[in-house]
Structure 1
């Protein structure tokens, strides 16, 4: 009679994790929290002419529109956010999608794209990867303190993404 113990161990090594994963998913045992501060978009949004511009691992983009009252203040905050990146500034660039802000000239290298995808809202900030895919959205908050917290969250997410991309 043959000894089938190694065969049973081999099969068990594959079946036990599979059964455990199914049980965890069915029981709702997964945590409800998330580690990002931004909001993932419900649908895939890409900037159409992204490949025509020089590549950068990540881009902080702001959508500007003609009737956007908050855009000028938001753009100044974005430039401060860029300074806060410190040594990671070389891996991130700024971009304006839509009309260029009139009163604010950028002190940092800025990409200007004259049109923005329709799914993006004016005054909001977006993180865009090197393929032109919009990954995270950060809403504009009219209260200055709330907006500062949104920017801190964006900075935290961006540093985490830069750290992940460095390790892979």
Structure 2
């Protein structure tokens, strides 16, 4: 085989996967958003303060505790804590308990204007006062990274069967995020 035939054969073999990829994208055979279960936000929302740039007056123990927490599961409560709110808090508690040793990397929060009375029943969930940026996320569970940005959101309804599916979806996405997180490695 002369060098000219080899070069043409080499170029054809290298171009074949690129042509196949372009064809699959243009024909719609590949679904681009099929991996995540939650909804991505169209714009950035800074829900929590950035723990990677904490103030210098914090103690060493606080910095160590914040360094381990990379992900936050936050329920943004509506005006009052009704049955939907209780279902969401129960779901957050169950998700946290089901994470096993990966609990060290997550923190569960409820954001509300006032501390819900039902929060006594859920020891793993902390309360944080709601800021004005959370208005469009009411009645939703969101996954927040350590920089305080909301990544995925999950609308909450009061149906217990839907909440089981929602918890499964959140767990799947959160485990994927924890496993691919390289900021602490």
Q: 1:136 to 1:11 in 2, by over 3 A?
A: same
1:62 matched to 2:71? The reply is: no
Q: 1:90 to 1:10 in 2, by over 3 A?
A: same
Partner of 1:81: 95
Partner of 2:168: 152
Unaligned runs of 5+ in 1: none
Unaligned runs of 5+ in 2: 55-65
Q: What is the CA-CA distance between 1:57 and the residue it aligns to? A: 1.9
Partner of 2:144: 128
Q: Larger % of helix: which?
A: 2
Q: Tell me the secondary structure at the aligned position of residue 181 of structure 2.
A: helix
Q: What is the CA-CA distance between 1:86 and the residue it aligns to? A: 1.4
After superposition, residues 30-41 of structure 1 pair within 5 angstroms as 30-31=30-31, 34-41=34-41
TM-score by length of 2: 0.72
Cα contact 2:76–2:134 (8 A) shared by 1: no
Q: 1:37 to 1:116 in 2, by over 3 A?
A: farther
Cα contact 1:63–1:97 (8 A) shared by 2: yes
TM-score by length of 1: 0.78
Cα contact 1:97–1:116 (8 A) shared by 2: no
The whole-number CA distance in structure 1 between the counterparts of 2:112 and 2:127 is: 11
